[in-house]
C-alpha cells in the first residue's frame, strides 16, 4: 500500500494546458488508474481505521469501552437520571443475549434475578457463538474473556475455534492488547474472577468494577445469578445515549423466559459497532452503531 501511494505521487500531472489551442488535455488512461488506485487506498484506510482489534490477522484500532461495564460511573449516572425521570430504581447493563442471534441487537430487556436485587435493564450490543438460548452475557469488570482475549498479553493472534468454557485455554487474538496486566490477573477464561476477594487485577478501574458487580448484585461467589423472568421494554433514552442503538420496533413486547446472567469482558469492540452485522435495517439510521473506544477504553473512536 505504501508503494502504491509513492507511485501515485511520482505520476506526472493528469491535466496539461496547451498554449496554442487554449484547451486542457487529460491523459484518460492514467486518470482511470489514478481514480482506481485512490479508491483502493481509501477503502484500505477505512478498513484499518474502523475495525475491531479482534479482526483479521493484524487487528484494527477499536476496543470495548470500559464504561459500558456494569456499575461504571457513566452507567451509575445514567441510572440516576432515569430514576429522576421515571421514579424507577434500576441497574443498567449491556451484553449478548440468545444463542448465535444478532437479530436481538438493539433490544432492551428488563429482568429480575435470584438471589434478588434491583431490576436490571440491559441492552443487547453483541452476539456470540458461545451464548446459550436464555443466557444474558453482560459486560462486567474482570468478567472473563470467553472465546476471545483482547485484554491482556502476551498474544499470538490465534484464529477462533469456539472452544467451550470447560477447557482451560483461551484464544489470544489481539496484536495490541488493551491492558498491560498479564492474563493471570484476570481470573478464569470464562467467568473471570469467581470470588469477590479475587478481584485483584492491577488495573484499578477494573478492580473497582469487578468488586462492584458483586456488591450491586449482578454476580455471586462461585456461581451465576439466575434470571427469574422479564420482558422486552423500550430502551431508556439514558441507555441509548451510551450505546447509540435504537430499533425501529423499539416498543414491541416480548416475554423473557427464565435464564442465566453471566459475566464477560473480552475487550473486543462488539458486533453492534459494525452496521452490516447488526441488521441495520432494524435500527434507526442515526442510532445504528455503537461507538467503540480507542485503546484507553474511554475515548470514543
Percent with pLDDT over 70 in the chain: 71
Classify burial at 150, counting beta carbons within 10 Å of its beta carbon; exposed 0-12, middle 13-18, buried 19 or more: buried
**Could you tell me if residue 59 is inside a domain?**
no
pLDDT band with cut points at 50, 70 and 90 for residue 285: confident
Question: Would you say residue 55 lies in a domain?
Answer: no
Better-predicted residue by pLDDT, 44 or 199: 199
Residue 97's CATH number: 2.40.40
With respect to residue 298, please indicate whether it lies within any of the assigned structural domains: no
What percent of the chain has a predicted confidence (pLDDT) above 90? 49
Give the separation between CA 150 and CA 157, rounded to whole angstroms.
9
The predicted pLDDT at position 1 comes to 43
What's the CA gap between 281 and 284, in Å, rounded? 7
pLDDT tens for 234-276 read 999 999 999 999 999 999 999 999 999 999 999 999 999 986 6
Q: Are residues 187 and 127 in the same domain?
A: yes
Angle, vertex CA 215, rays to CA 232 and CA 260, nearest 5: 40
129 or 109, greater pLDDT: 109
Quick check: is 238 in a domain? yes
Q: State mean pLDDT over 115-127.
A: 94
Domain of 78?
66-288
72 and 44 inside one domain? no
Classify residue 31: in a domain, yes or no.
Answer: yes
- Same domain as 41, residue 151: no
Question: pLDDT per residue over 15-63, tens digit each?
Answer: 444 444 444 444 555 544 444 444 433 334 344 446 887 775 566 889 9
Q: Are residues 241 and 93 in the same domain?
A: yes
* Number of domains within the chain: 2
Same domain, 141 and 167: yes
The arithmetic mean of pLDDT across residues 119-148, rounded, is 91
Highest mean pLDDT among 54-63, 160-169, 286-295: 286-295
Q: Which residue has the higher pLDDT, 283 or 167?
A: 283
Is 37 inside a domain boundary? yes
Q: Does 138 share its domain with 22?
A: no
Asked if 26 and 132 sit in the same domain, the reply is no
Q: Does 144 lie in the same domain as 19?
A: no
Same-domain pairing of 21 and 170: no
Q: Are both 25 and 123 inside the same structural domain?
A: no
Same domain? 110 vs 205 = yes
Q: Is 294 inside any structural domain?
A: no
Q: Is 57 part of any domain?
A: no
Amino acid at each position: 500500500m505504501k508503494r502504491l501511494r509513492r507511485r501515485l505521487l511520482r505520476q506526472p500531472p493528469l491535466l496539461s494546458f496547451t498554449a496554442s489551442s487554449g484547451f486542457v488535455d487529460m491523459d484518460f488512461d492514467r486518470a482511470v488508474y489514478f481514480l482506481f488506485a485512490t479508491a483502493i487506498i481509501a477503502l484500505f484506510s477505512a478498513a484499518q481505521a474502523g475495525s475491531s482489534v479482534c479482526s483479521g490477522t493484524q487487528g484494527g484500532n477499536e476496543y470495548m469501552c470500559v464504561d459500558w461495564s456494569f456499575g461504571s460511573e457513566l452507567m451509575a449516572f445514567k441510572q440516576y437520571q432515569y430514576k429522576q425521570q421515571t421514579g424507577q430504581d434500576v441497574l443498567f447493563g449491556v451484553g449478548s443475549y440468545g444463542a448465535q442471534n444478532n437479530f436481538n441487537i438493539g433490544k432492551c430487556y428488563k429482568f429480575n434475578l435470584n438471589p434478588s436485587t434491583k431490576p436490571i435493564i440491559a441492552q443487547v450490543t453483541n452476539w456470540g457463538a458461545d451464548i446459550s438460548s436464555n443466557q444474558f452475557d453482560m459486560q462486567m469488570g474482570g468478567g472473563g474473556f470467553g472465546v476471545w482475549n483482547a485484554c491482556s498479553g502476551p498474544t499470538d493472534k490465534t484464529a477462533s475455534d469456539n472452544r467451550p468454557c470447560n477447557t482451560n485455554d483461551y484464544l489470544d487474538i489481539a496484536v495490541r492488547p488493551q491492558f498491560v496486566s498479564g492474563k493471570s490477573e484476570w481470573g478464569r477464561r470464562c467467568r473471570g474472577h469467581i470470588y469477590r476477594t479475587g478481584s485483584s487485577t492491577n488495573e484499578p478501574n477494573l478492580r473497582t468494577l469487578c468488586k462492584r458487580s458483586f456488591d450491586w448484585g449482578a454476580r455471586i461467589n462461585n456461581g451465576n445469578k439466575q434470571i427469574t423472568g422479564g420482558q422486552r421494554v423500550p430502551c431508556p433514552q439514558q441507555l441509548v445515549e451510551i450505546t447509540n442503538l435504537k430499533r425501529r420496533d423499539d416498543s414491541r413486547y416480548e416475554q423473557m423466559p427464565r435464564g442465566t446472567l453471566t459475566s464477560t469482558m473480552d475487550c473486543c469492540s462488539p458486533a453492534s459497532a459494525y452496521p452490516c452485522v447488526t441488521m441495520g435495517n432494524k435500527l434507526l439510521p442515526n442510532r445504528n452503531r455503537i461507538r467503540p473506544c480507542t485503546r484507553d477504553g474511554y475515548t470514543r473512536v
